[in-house]
Amino acid sequence: MHNVKHHLTDQLLMAYSAGSLPEAFNLIVAAHVSMCDECRAQLASFDSVGGALLDGTDSEPVSQECFAETMRLISSGALRPEKPSSPCADTKAILPAPVREYVGGDVDKVKWKPIGMGVKQAILPTSKDASARLLYIPAGAAVPDHGHRGMELTLVLQGAFVDETDRFARGDIEIADEEVTHTPVADIGEDCICLAATDAPLRFNKLIPRIAQPFFRI
């Protein structure tokens, strides 16, 4: 996609290239990179630098413990998805290829669960150090006003939303931290579908969302 306005930071792309992100963040970076020409090119440059650095280091024997842990992560799926080197071939799909691998198909395969006010979510199976979920927000509907106890990455897959910072459309990614408080509202013209990843619970500012929060694992 050539019209992406909001991109990943270099820090996130470098961490992804180094393999140091939690699985949920790994997924959302892979999904954005598959949709964004600019970030895909930047990632390729970081991968090249990392490869050159590895080529210039002396090899060290791998311990049995390190080898066993690496194999365990591979078997459990914690190291997926692989870095996308090219855009998704299925241009009709709403979900990018890395997300479809978790869902087992496109949006029609998502097992949505209502969380109130027409908003629905589907939590994806990732490692426990961060969580990933698909969010369905009806046109014109709002996600309750909230802040953050950590980092939240939100990638728009369909439609668009606006908040106190800007407007985010398909392919755009919003990066929110402890300093950001916002109320995302889906555009009137189309229902909005997003992929969101967080490494800490959200901080809701109203009572009802705070009461419901443990049940919805947000």
Question: pLDDT digits over 3-32, tens only?
Answer: 899 999 999 999 999 999 999 999 999 999
* Whole-angstrom distance, CA of residue 139 vs CA of residue 150: 28
Average of per-residue pLDDT across 192-215:
75
Name which of 19-28, 116-125, 194-203 the model is least confident about: 194-203
Query: What pLDDT, in 10s, does the model give residues 77-117?
Result: 444 444 454 555 566 899 999 999 999 999 999 999 998 88
- Structural domain range at position 198: 105-216
Establish if 194 belongs to a structural domain.
yes
In a domain, 160, yes or no: yes
Q: Tell whether 26 is covered by a domain.
A: no
Q: Classify residue 70: in a domain, yes or no.
A: no
Confidence of residue 159 (pLDDT cuts 50, 70, 90): very high
Residue 15 lies in a domain: no
Helix/strand/coil (H/E/C) assignment for every residue in the chain: CCCCCCCCCHHHHHHHHHCCCCHHHHHHHHHHHHHCHHHHHHHHHHHHHHHHHHHCCCCCCCCHHHHHHHHHHHHHCCCCCCCCCCCCCCCCCCCCHHHHHHHCCCHHHCCCEEEECCEEEEEECCCCCCEEEEEEECCCCECCCEEECCCEEEEEEECEEECCCCEEECCCEEEECCCCCECCEECCCCCEEEEEEECCCEEECCHHHHHHHHHHCC
Q: What is the mean pLDDT of residues 128-133?
A: 94
pTM for this predicted structure: 0.78
Q: Is the pLDDT of residue 2 over 60?
A: yes
Within-domain flag for 170: yes
Query: Per the domain annotation, does 149 fall within a domain?
Result: yes
pLDDT given for residue 1 in this prediction: 61
Q: What is the mean pLDDT of residues 136-165?
A: 91
Domain for residue 144, yes or no? yes
CATH code, 166: 2.60.120.10
Instruction: Give me the number of domains the chain comprises.
Output: 1
